[in-house]
Structure 1
Amino acid sequence: MSAPSVLIAGCGDVGGRLATQLLASGWEVHGLRRDISRLPEGVIGVAGDLFNEDCPATWPVGAVDYLVYCAAATDHDEAGYRAAYVQGLQHVLGWLNDYGQAPKRLLFVSSSSVYGQQNGEWIDETSPTQADGYSGRVMLEAEQVALNGGIPASLVRLTGIYGPGREWLLSQVRQGYRVAIDPPLYANRIHVDDAAGLLAFLLLRAERGESLEGCYIGVDDAPAPLADVVGWLREYLGVTEWAEDASVRRTGSKRCSNARAKALGWTPRYPSFREGYAAILEGRC
Structure 2
Amino acid sequence: MSAPSVLIVGCGDVGGRLARQLLAGGWSVSGLRRTASAVPAGVTAIAADLERREIPADWPTIGPDYLVFCVAASQHDEPGYRSAYVEGLRNVLGWLAERGQRPRRLLFVSSSSVFAQKNGEWIDETAETAPQEYSGRVMLEAERLALESGIPASVVRLTGIYGPGREWLLSQVRQGYRVTEEPPLYGNRIHAEDAAGLLAFLLRADHDGRALDDCYIGVDDAPAPLAEVVGWLREYMGVTEWSEQQRVRRTGSKRCSNARARALGWAPTYPSYREGYAAILEGQKP
| TM-score normalised per structure 2 | 0.98
**SS state at 1:109 partner:** strand
**SS state at 1:16 partner:** helix
Cα distance per residue 1:121-163 (max 9 Å; x no partner): 1010000012110000000000011011110000000000000
Cα distance per residue 1:236-275 (max 9 Å; x no partner): 1111111112343621000000000000110100000000
Asked if residue 16 in structure 1 is aligned to residue 12 in structure 2, the reply is no
Please tell me whether the aligned partners of residues 68 and 108 of structure 1 are also in contact (alpha carbons under 8 angstroms): yes
Matches for 1:14-163 after TM superposition, within 5 Å:
14-163=14-163
Question: What amino acid sits opposite 1:2 in the alignment?
Answer: S
**SS state at 1:17 partner:** helix
Please tell me whether the aligned partners of residues 163 and 276 of structure 2 are also in contact (alpha carbons under 8 angstroms): yes
Distance in 1, Cα, partners of 2:248 & 2:45:
43
Distance in 2, Cα, partners of 1:93 & 1:160:
28
**SS state at 1:282 partner:** helix
Please tell me whether the aligned partners of residues 70 and 108 of structure 1 are also in contact (alpha carbons under 8 angstroms): yes
Please tell me whether the aligned partners of residues 177 and 246 of structure 2 are also in contact (alpha carbons under 8 angstroms): no
Partner residue, 1:198: 198
Partner residue, 1:258: 258
Question: What amino acid sits opposite 2:163 in the alignment?
Answer: G
**SS state at 2:217 partner:** strand
Question: What amino acid sits opposite 2:160 in the alignment?
Answer: G
1:249/1:47 Cα in 2 relative to 1: closer, same or farther (>3 Å)?
Answer: closer
Distance in 2, Cα, partners of 1:100 & 1:201:
27
Cα distance per residue 1:165-184 (max 9 Å; x no partner): 00000000001111110110
Please tell me whether the aligned partners of residues 66 and 105 of structure 2 are also in contact (alpha carbons under 8 angstroms): yes
Question: What amino acid sits opposite 2:255 in the alignment?
Answer: R
Please tell me whether the aligned partners of residues 120 and 253 of structure 1 are also in contact (alpha carbons under 8 angstroms): yes
Asked if residue 272 in structure 1 is aligned to residue 260 in structure 2, the reply is no
Partner residue, 1:177: 177
User: How far did 1:4 drift?
Assistant: 0.7
Asked if residue 282 in structure 1 is aligned to residue 282 in structure 2, the reply is yes
Distance in 2, Cα, partners of 1:108 & 1:39:
19
* Stretch moving more, 171-180 or 188-197: 171-180
User: How far did 1:223 drift?
Assistant: 0.1
Distance in 2, Cα, partners of 1:106 & 1:249:
33
Please tell me whether the aligned partners of residues 33 and 47 of structure 1 are also in contact (alpha carbons under 8 angstroms): yes
Distance in 2, Cα, partners of 1:246 & 1:150:
49
Please tell me whether the aligned partners of residues 180 and 249 of structure 1 are also in contact (alpha carbons under 8 angstroms): no
Identity of aligned residues (%): 73
Tell me, which stretches of 5 or more residues in structure 1 are unaligned?
A: none
Q: CA RMSD in A?
A: 0.9
Question: What amino acid sits opposite 2:267 in the alignment?
Answer: T
Distance in 1, Cα, partners of 2:100 & 2:247:
55
Tell me, which stretches of 5 or more residues in structure 2 are unaligned?
A: none
